[in-house]
Structure 1
């Protein structure tokens, strides 16, 4: 185990992953809510509700950006050590 403290950029990458996960789960919940009336035979929600479902994809992109940022910071740190 290393005693190094993670850099601020690595922390921001971790924060992006967390925010992306939250946005993704909000979009997933919205997807479940908007699809439920189709199975229950009730009136569907307005189109705005379906637009909220797009948060699922946005959350995935935000989390992926956080992972890529963390990777780049770790590579820079590894090069600096060598």
Structure 2
């Protein structure tokens, strides 16, 4: 998801440098996927840390 958002962001800002017609508005919405993907990765990292701590303590949750 992050990479889709990153590509959409690059495509969205490309006309600024190339001097061409801007892309449709939905491309700006797609570029928001970069933040969503980053957020999901952060949540996964925190869950992994929590699971590792539980396992180290010996909890069986």
- Aligned positions of 1:2-41 closer than 5 A: 23-41=1-19
Give CA-to-partner distance per residue, 1:38-61, whole Å, 9 cap, x none.
111111011111110000000000
2:20 to 42, 52, 55: 42
- Provide the aligned length of Structure 1 versus Structure 2: 59
Q: Distance in 1 between matches of 2:27 and 2:5?
A: 10
Matched position secondary structure for 2:22: coil
Q: Distance in 1 between matches of 2:34 and 2:22?
A: 20
Unaligned runs of 5+ in 2: none
Q: Distance in 2 between matches of 1:38 and 1:50?
A: 14
Q: Distance in 2 between matches of 1:34 and 1:43?
A: 11
Question: In the alignment, what sits opposite 1:52?
Answer: 30
Unaligned runs of 5+ in 1: 1-22
